[in-house]
Amino acid sequence: METIDRKSGSALWHQIGEILAADIAAGIFAPGDRLPTEPELMQRFGVSRFTVRQALGRLEQRGLVRAEQGRGTFVHKGVLDYTLSKKTRFSQNMVDQGFEPGGELLIHEIIPASEHVAARLRLAPGDPVIHRRGVMTADGMPIECGDSYYPAERFPDFDKARLRYPTITAALASYGVHDYVRLSTEIEARMPTAEEARLLRQPKSLPVLVTLKVDVDTAGVPIAFAEALWPAERVTFKVDVG
C-alpha cells in the first residue's frame, strides 16, 4: 500500500490525483492506457471508493483521463495542437491528430444581429442572423464551446442543411460556398463562468482561451463569425502564417 500524508491538511483525493497525474506525466501510464481499477486504487492507497472516484473525477476535469462506461478510465491523448491558418477546419484538425471529432448542438435560432455581430458580418444591426451554440469534442472530451453566427438570408434552413451534411464545410457548399478562408482570428485568455466550466468539464479555477474569428468566401464576403472558448490545459494553438 502506498503511503499518503493524512495529516498534511491536503484532501486525500487531491493527493491521489496528484500522484496519478505525476505517473501520467512520467509515462508510467501512457496515452491510451487504462488506469488501475477502482478496487486496485483503493488497495494501493488504502482509501474508500468514494475518495478514489473523487480523484479520478478531478483528473477527468483536467482533461488527463476519460471514463468509458463499462470499460474503465483511460489516459487521454494529451494536449491537442490546434492549427490556426487560412484554411482552418475543425474536423480535419482532429482527424490529422488521430482524434475522433464530435459535438453537440445546444441552440439553433434566428435572432437580430447585435452591433458587435453585425460589424463582424458586415450587416446592419438588427438584420437576421443564425445563432448556433454548441460544444465540440475530441474523443468525447470537450475542447471547444461557443457561439457561431451566419447571415440568415444567405443560408435559409441552415439547420436542415446541417443535419443533412456531416460537416459545416459540406453544409456551406450546398449553398454554393465551395471554399472559404479565415479572414481574422483574435485570441485572449480569461477565467470561465460556472456554466462555461460545466460545458467544458473543467474547474472554474482553470483559465480558458477565447478565439474570435471571421470566415469569408472567395469574394471576401463574411459568411461566419464565431466566439469560442477552449480549455487552456487541453489545447495549444499553432499559427500557420503561410
User: What secondary structure letter does DSSP report for 99?
Assistant: -
Query: Nearest to residue 31, comparing CAs of 78, 67, 66?
Result: 78
Please name the residues in contact with 191: beta carbons below 8 A apart, sequence gap of 6 or more: 204, 205, 207, 208
Locate 107 and state its grid cell: 441552440
What is the pLDDT of the chain when averaged over all its residues? 91
Could you report the per-residue pLDDT of 29-46, keeping only the tens digit for each? 988 889 999 999 999 999
Could you report the per-residue pLDDT of 113-138, keeping only the tens digit for each? 999 999 999 999 999 999 999 999 98
Query: Nearest to residue 56, comparing CAs of 43, 46, 42?
Result: 42
Q: For residue 182, how far is the Cα from the chain centroid? A: 19
Whole-number percent of the chain with pLDDT over 70: 98
Verdict on whether the full-model pTM lies above 0.85: no
Give the other-Cβ count within 10 Å of 174's Cβ: 15
Predicted confidence (pLDDT) at residue 109 exceeds the cutoff of 90: yes
Across the chain, the runs of DSSP E, i.e. the strands, are 65-68, 72-75, 80-84, 101-112, 128-138, 141-151, 180-190, 208-217, 222-231, 235-239
Give the other-Cβ count within 10 Å of 22's Cβ: 10
Q: Which helix (H) or strand (E) holds 56?
A: helix 49-61
Please name the residues in contact with 91: beta carbons below 8 A apart, sequence gap of 6 or more: 101, 166, 167, 169
C-beta of residue 78 within 8 angstroms of C-beta of residue 24 = no
Q: Can you tell me the distance from the alpha carbon of 132 to that of 107, in angstroms, rounded to the nearest whole number?
A: 5
Predicted confidence (pLDDT) at residue 233 exceeds the cutoff of 90: no
Predicted confidence (pLDDT) at residue 62 exceeds the cutoff of 80: no
Could you report the per-residue pLDDT of 66-105, keeping only the tens digit for each? 887 788 998 876 668 888 888 888 888 888 888 889 999 9
Locate 8 and state its grid cell: 498534511
**DSSP states of 113-174 as a string?**
PPHHHHHHHT--TT-EEEEEEEEEEETTEEEEEEEEEEETTTSTTHHHHHHHSSSHHHHHHT
Could you report the per-residue pLDDT of 165-190, keeping only the tens digit for each? 988 999 999 999 999 999 999 999 99
Considering Cα of 110, then 210, then 81, then 29, what sign does the dihedral take?
negative
Predicted confidence (pLDDT) at residue 1 exceeds the cutoff of 90: no
Domains of the chain: 12-75 (1.10.10.10), 80-239 (3.40.1410.10)
Q: For residue 12, how far is the Cα from the chain centroid? A: 29
